[in-house]
Amino acid sequence: MKRLITAIGMILLLSACGGDGEQDAKDKTPGAGKEQAAVTTDRPMTQDALVGTYVGHLPCEACDAMVTSIILKEDNTYAITTKPENDTAFSMPLVDSGRFVMRDSILELTDKAGEIRNYKIQANVLKQLGEDGRPLDAPGENHYQFVKQ
């Protein structure tokens, strides 16, 4: 009789400790089923694939263009440097930094002051978006587009 009770107790104990509990815990966490590091683009892209340096041009009234580099790091931080394109004076570039997150096919950069910039992710290109969520447009070829190096 003792063996039967012990056997039933062991069966109950083992069934309570089954692998489904881990899945249940995942399902109860906020945002379960959503991979924040995954991005929906023409082909699936992960955060690891997004990390790197992107270079592009911004319009400039006093110069040909502003060369801008966006550096996305593995720890979800970024740095942006901006410098006039044909700068022969070796002036200091403007530097901005903060944190980034991916939301679907949008890259959201938030600087230390809380200002947010959004970019549409398309393969190895980031296209800067305006406040209305539409791509920014300017005279000149490829302004507001940043290509991964």
| Helix (H), strand (E), coil (C) string for 17-84 | CCCHHHHHHHHHCCCCCCCCCEECCCCCEEHHHHCEEEEEEECCCCCCCEEEEEEECCCCEEEEEEEE
Check whether residue 18 and residue 47 sit in a common domain: no
Report the pLDDT value the prediction gives residue 140, as an integer from 0 to 100: 64
Which pLDDT belongs to residue 54?
Answer: 97
- Residues of the chain short of pLDDT 70, as ranges, are 1-47, 90, 139-141
pLDDT for the residue numbered 142? 76
- 101: domain CATH number is 2.40.128.640
18 and 57 assigned to the same domain? no
Please tell me the total count of domains within the chain: 2
Give pTM, 2 decimals: 0.66
Instruction: Please check whether residues 117 and 79 belong to one and the same domain.
Output: yes
pLDDT of res. 96: 94
Tell me: do 8 and 45 sit in the same domain.
Answer: no
The 10 Å CB-count burial string (b at 16+, else e) for 3-23 is: eeeeeeeeeeeeeeeeeeeee
